[in-house]
Amino acid sequence: MSDGWHDECGVFGIHGHPEASNMAYLGLYALQHRGQESAGIASTDGERIIFHKEMGLVADIFSEEILSRLPGHTAIGHVRYSTTGSSELKNAQPLVVDFESGAIAIAHNGNLVNAQELKRELEVSGSIFQSSMDTEVIVHLIARSRKERIEDRIVDALNQVRGAYSLLFMTRDKLIGVRDPHGIRPLALGKMKGEGGTVITSESCALDLIEAEYLREVEPGEMIVVDARGTHSHRPFLPAVERFCIFEHIYFARPDSIMGGTCIYEVRKALGRQLAKECPAIADVVIPVPDSGVPAALGFSEASGIPFEMGLIRNHYVGRTFIEPQQSIRHFGVKIKLNAVRGVVSGKRVVVVDDSIVRGTTGRKIIKMIRAAGAKEIHFRISSPPTCYPCFYGIDTPLRRDLIAATHTREETNTYLSSDTLGYLSMEGLHACVPNGKTTYCDACFTGNYSVPLEKEESGEQLPLFHASVRV
C-alpha cells in the first residue's frame, strides 16, 4: 500500500565465497521487502571493484549475463526504497568511488541526522556532491581521514556522523560491517555451511534462502572486519544505549526473520494477543489486513477465542503500473489489491487487525469495502500505538501533519475511518511483547523521543533541501 511506512534499505555482504555475486543476488531477493525501487551489487576480483545498479526489482535487474560480469569472492548488495523526489539511479547503491587508497563500495541502511551540516562543511573545504544520498557524506569523510588503514578511516568518519546506520563496506580485500552505537537498524551475521564464507546482512531471512547459518546479530557499535585472516570484531565507538527500531518488530522485518533472538512472527502474534486483552471486541470473526496483519490477527483470535478467517483476498498480479483509467468509479486505491470475501464477513461482527495506521486513507477504504460486503459491525484493531511522529532514522514517513494520529483524537480517527470502534495497542503493551532483556528500543514514532538528537531542520516538518541539482 502506498499509504504506509517504507523501510528504506536492505544490505547484504558476503566474503570468501566462489559465487559471491550470485549469493548477493539471492540475498537481495530475500530482502526485497526492504526496498523495491532500485538494487545494486558490487563485487571485487581482488583488483578492481565492479558494480551494477538499476531502478527496479532484483529479479528484473540481474540477468545471468550481468551476474557473470560481477566475478570474485566478495560482494555487497543493496535494495532501496526512497521518496518520490529522489527516485533516481544516481541514488542507487552500493556507492562505489575511488579515493586515495583505491576503490571502495558502500551500502547503507539508515539515515544520518547531521548529513546536511557535514555536507556544508565538506563543501566549504572543497568537496563536490554527485548524489542526494547522505551516504555520500560518509565516503567523503573516509577519503579525508588521514589514517592509513581503511578500518581506521571508517572509524574516523563514523565518529563524525550521528544517526542510524547499518553499513557494509567492501574494498578489494575486505568486507566490513558496522552498526551504529544505538543499533537502530538491524544487521545480522551468518556463515555459509561447509566451505565457509561469511555473510553480513539486514535480516536472517536472507541467510535462509542461501542456506547459510544465522550466527548472531552484529552488536550496536560493533565493527566486523572480514578478510583473508578471518572475521574480527572491533568496538571502536563510545558505548551508547541501544535503541533498536521497535517498528522492525511491528512491520518492517519479514515474519520469518529472527531479531533480538526471537522470531518476528512470534512477536507479532504476541502483539495481537496483547491487543485482544487491551482492546477486546464482541465479534464473530477476526480478519487480518493481509499480509502484514496476519500474525497479529492470529494472536488476537487466539487470545479472544473469536475465529480467524482470511476475509480479505490479495490480488498478487499487480504488474508494474496499474492505471486507474476511469471516470465513473474513481479512487480504486486498495481495491485493486484487496477484495473482501462476502462469505466471511456478510452479516458478521468483524474485527479487522492491521499493524499500524499512517494517513488513514487505506484503512478507510478497507473498512468501506468490508462494510459493502455486508459486515454488520467493524472493529478496527491496530497492533501498535498511534504513530504521531516522523522517523529520521532511515524510514520514509509522511510529514507529521499527515499522520492521522498526530492531528486527530482516537474518536476523530474512528469517525474518519468509519469503523464502529477503533483500538490501538498501548505503549506498555508494545514494550511487554517485544524481546526484552538487554535490548532497549527507539519508539520515537510513537513518543517523539528521538534517540539521536536531530539537526534543526530535521526536527521541523520540512525535509531540508539537500541538493541543488535534480535528475529527471
Q: Which of residues 432-471 bind a second copy (CB under 8 A)?
A: 467-471
Cβ pair 113, 455 in contact under 8 A: yes
Give the one residue of 1, 66, 240, 463 binding a second copy; rule: CB under 8 A: 66
By CB under 8 A, what part of segment 283-302 binds a second copy? 291, 294-295, 298, 302
**129 interacts with a second copy by CB under 8 A:** yes
Tell me if 87 contacts a second copy by CB under 8 A. no
Q: Where are the beta strands (DSSP E) in 253-337?
A: 258-259, 262-263, 285-288, 312-314
Cβ 145 vs Cβ 157: under 8 Å: yes
In angstroms, rounded to a whole number, what is the distance separating the alpha carbons of residues 274 and 260? Answer: 19
For a second copy, which residue of 87, 127, 439, 440 counts as binding (CB under 8 A)?
127
Q: Which SS3 state, helix, strand or coil, does residue 222 take?
A: coil
Q: Specify burial of residue 347 (Cβ count, 10 A radius: 0-12, 13-18, 19+).
A: exposed
Report the candidate in 30, 2, 27, 29 with the shortest Cα–Cα distance to residue 15. Answer: 27
Q: Between 230 and 319, name the residue whose CB sits nearer to a second copy.
A: 319
326 scored as a contact of a second copy (CB under 8 A): yes
Q: How far is the CB of 46 from a second copy (least distance, A)?
A: 12
The footprint of a second copy on residues 334-393 (CB under 8 A) is: 335-336, 339-344
33 binds a second copy (CB under 8 A): yes
CA distance linking residue 125 with residue 116, whole number of Å: 14
Least Cβ distance, residue 137 to a second copy (angstroms): 11
Which one of 262, 414, 421, 439 is in contact with a second copy (CB under 8 A)? 262
Question: Element (H or E) spanning 431, and its range?
Answer: helix 427-433
Contacts of 447 (CB under 8 A, 6+ apart): 389, 427
CB 280 within 8 A of CB 304: yes
The least distance separating a second copy from the CB of residue 117, rounded to whole angstroms, comes to: 14
Q: Applying CB under 8 A, what is the total number of residues that bind a second copy?
A: 108
Contact string 205-234 vs a second copy (x = CB under 8 A): x--xxxx-----------------------
Which stretch, 248-256, 356-364, 387-395, 437-445, contacts a second copy (CB under 8 A)? Answer: 248-256
Phi, psi dihedrals of residue 13, rounded to the nearest 5°: -135, 145
| Residue 305 found at the interface with a second copy (CB under 8 A) | no
The answer to the question of residue 160 lying near a second copy (CB under 8 A) is no
- Give yes or no for residue 308 binding a second copy (CB under 8 A): yes
> Is 9 one of the annotated active-site residues of the chain?
yes
Query: Catalytic residue positions?
Result: 9
